[in-house]
Chains A and B, each alone.
Chain A
Amino acid sequence: MSTDIASSESIGEINKYDFRTESKAFFKARKGVDAEIVNQISEMKNEPEWMRNYRLKALEIFNSKPMPNWGGAIDINFQDIYYYLKPTDKQGKTWDEVPQEIKDTFDKLGIPEAEKKFLSGVKAQFESEVVYGSLKQDLADQGVIFTDTDSAIRDYPDLVREYFGTIIPSTDNKFAALNSAVWSGGSFIYVPKGVKIEFPLQAYFRINAENMGQFERTLIIVDEGASVHYVEGCTAPMYSSESLHSAVVEIICKRGSRCRYTTIQNWANNIYNLVTKRAVAYADATMEWVDGNLGSKLTMKYPAVYMLEPGARGEILSIAFASKGQHQDAGAKLVHCAPHTTGQIISKSISKGGGRSSYRGLVKVEKGAKKSKCNVVCDALILDSKSRSDTYPYIEILEQDVSVGHEASVSRIGEEQMFYLMSRGLSNAEASTMIVNGFIEPLVKELPMEYAVEMNRLIQLQMEGSVG
C-alpha cells in the first residue's frame, strides 16, 4: 500500500477537471439533484464503479426519507440548489462582490491578505504553498496520508473502501444520504501505527479547489497507538452562494489511539449547516470533539462517539453562539457499548439578540457496559429577553452497574458580576464580553493558539453587535 501523498498532483490543481473529459459528456452545471447529476458528478471525478453505485443508491435513500420532525425549521427547496459546480465556475466572483461586513470582519480579525481572498471564494487556490509544503513532506516521511477524499478514492481504493460509509451509512438520516450521493471534497487522513503527529493538521493544508465545499466527506483512520489533531474551519465568516451545507465526517480510532477533531464554524447567516459527525473508539482509544458553532442560519450537528471496547473514552466540548436570525441546534452523543468506558460532555451556549441556542444530546449505556461512567454538563446564557435557550438531553440506561450524571442550567449574566466589573471602569459591553469569554473559556483553552486569539476577538465582535 502506497503511503506517499500524491505529490505529483500539484496543489490546487484544477486541470484534472477540465475539458479532457468533456469530449465524453458535456457537463453543464444545473440546479437540482437526480440520477443524471449524480452520474455526472461521478463521471467528472473519474470514480470507480463501486462509488458511482454507492452514490446512486444513496440518492434513492435520500428521496425516500422524510424530513426530520424535530430540530430547526428547514425551508429548503432541494431542486433549487446547485449540487456540483466545477471549480472554474466558482472563480466568477470578484473582490468587489464580497459583502462589506465580511471584509470588515477580516480586517478586525487581522486576516492576512492572501487568506482573505481565498476564504471569501474569490480565488480557487491558496497561494501559500511555500509555507505549507515543507509540513507536508514531514508527514509523508512518517507514512501519514493526508489528502482530499476524491484523490483518496483513486490513490488508496482498498483503504477507503474498507471504511467509507461504515460509521455513517447512507441510510442513517436524510442528510447523510444526500451527502453520500453528491459528496465532493473533504479530507482523507490515515495515521499509521504508533505515529503521533505533533502539530494540528488543518483543512487548508490539503489545498485544493474543493476546500470549503458544500458536501464535504471526511474520513479519518487513526491506527493503533497513533494520534492526530485535525482542525476544520475558521473563525472568519464563511461566505457561500449555496445555502445548503451538509457534511459527513467518519472517524475510526483503533486500539490505544487518540484523535481530536476541532471545528470552528462561522458560516454566513443564509446557510443551513446540517452535519453528521461520528467516531468509533476501540480499546483504550480516546476521541475528542471540540465543536464551535458561531454562524449559519441553522446548524444541526451532534458529534458522536461510540465506545466499542473496554477503556475507550469519548469527550465532547461544544459551544454554540446564536445571534439574531440564528438557530444553533447542536450537541453531542455518547454511546457506551463496552465495560469500563468513560465519557464526558461539556456544552456552553449563548443566545443573544433574538437568537436561539438548543443543546440536543444523547447518553446511551448499552446492557453489559459495566462500570461505565459518563457526565454531562450543559450551561446556557441568555443575554436578553428576545432570545431563547433550549436543552433536550436524552439519557438511556440499560445497564445497572454504571454511573451517569447530567446537569444543566440556564440563566442570564449575574448582576453582581456585572456590577463588580463595571465598578472597575469597564463599560457594559466590555463587562459582558469578559464574562462571556470566561464562560466559554473551557473550550477556548483547547483551541490551537491562533484560533483562540481569533475566537476571543470574534466573541468581542458578536457582543458589540457589529457582526452578524
Chain B
Amino acid sequence: MASQRKEFQLACKLSDLRPNHPNTIEIDDRFVVVVLLNAQVFCLEDLCTHDGGTLGDGEMDGNCLVCPRHGAKFDVRNGEAMCMPATEPTLSHEVEVRGDEVFVRLRDTV
C-alpha cells in the first residue's frame, strides 16, 4: 500500500543544527533525527530497528549514526542498516532546505 504523500513541514532552523550530530525533533507527533553532514541535511526516523529504542543520543561515524545501546549503524543518507545487530533499514525522510529553514516530509513506509 503506497504511503500517502504528506506535505513538507518545518522541522527546525539550519543555524540551530549541531553539525555532524543527531538533533532530535518532534514533527506531527513523531520523533525524527536531523543530521547536518558535510553541508547536507538528512533526516531519519528516531528509531533503532534492532531494539525499538531511540537513536537521538548516538554519535556519528562517517556517514552513519551509531545506536548508543548495541552499536547498530544506520546510513543517514538512506536509513540502511550497516552492521549487526540491526538488519532492517530505518525510515529516511525527505528533506528540503529553504534558506535557514529545514523542511521535512515524513514517510510512513520504507
Contact = CB atoms under 8 A, between A and B. Distances in A.
B85 interface: yes
Contact of A335 (B66, B70, B71, B87): B87
- The interface residues of chain B, by DSSP majority, are classed as loop
B88 A367 contact: yes
Contacts of B71: 61, 169-172
B27 interface: no
A204 B90 CA distance: 43
Nearest to A61: B71
A337 B84 contact: no
Interface in A162-189: 166-173
Nearest to B52: A396
Interface residues of A, number: 18
Nearest to A308: B87
A368 to B, nearest CB: 8
B97 interface: no
Main secondary structure of the interface of A (DSSP, over half): loop
A366 B84 contact: no
A306 interface: yes
A169 B87 contact: no
Contact of A168 (B66, B84, B88): B84
Contact of A171 (B49, B70, B87, B88): B70
A337 B88 contact: yes
A443 B71 CA distance: 34
B87 A306 contact: yes
Contacts of A280: 84
Contacts of B85: 169, 172
Contacts of A368: 88
B44 to A, nearest CB: 17
Interface of B: 49, 66, 70-71, 83-85, 87-88
15 contacts: A166-B83, A167-B84, A168-B84, A169-B70, A169-B85, A171-B70, A172-B71, A172-B84, A172-B85, A306-B87, A308-B87, A335-B87, A337-B87, A337-B88, A366-B88
